[in-house]
Amino acid sequence: MINDTKKAPLTVIWTQECEDVFVRLKFLMSSAPILSAPNFDVPFMVQVDASDRGLGAVLFQIVKGEEHPVCYLSRKLLPG
């Protein structure tokens, strides 16, 4: 079921577990492998995901056996 944004917003219950996961996610997003400049001598790979509400993708390259993100993309899908 799609939440109608014109109605009152849903209440979010922010628990200690939510806070712990959020802090960990911020740490991981700012740690290696961090966003890096593309190397046009190395093949690019794309990882995608989508739902009825939005879509997302990561453009990355494998360097020395590790995935290195080059670009993050996301978009909310509008009804229609």
d(CA 23, CA 19): 6
| Structural domain contains residue 52 | yes
Examine residue 44 and state whether it is found in any structural domain, yes or no. yes
Maximum mean pLDDT: which of 32-36, 42-46, 65-69: 42-46
**Which pLDDT tens digit goes with each residue over 2-43?**
555 566 667 889 999 999 999 999 888 777 667 788 999 999
Residue 10, domain member (yes or no): no
Give residue 1's pLDDT: 46
Give the burial class of 57: count Cβ atoms within 10 A of its Cβ; 0-12 exposed, 13-18 middle, 19 or more buried: middle
Range of the domain at 35: 16-76
Residue 50 within a domain: yes
Q: Considering the entire predicted model, what is its pTM?
A: 0.58
Assess if residue 1 is contained within a domain: no
pLDDT of residue 49: 96
Length, in residues, of the chain:
80
pLDDT at 16: 96
CATH number at residue 58: 3.10.20.370
In a domain, 3, yes or no: no
Tell me how far CA of residue 7 lies from CA of 1, 3, 11, 23, 77, in angstroms.
14, 8, 12, 30, 18
Domain count, the chain: 1
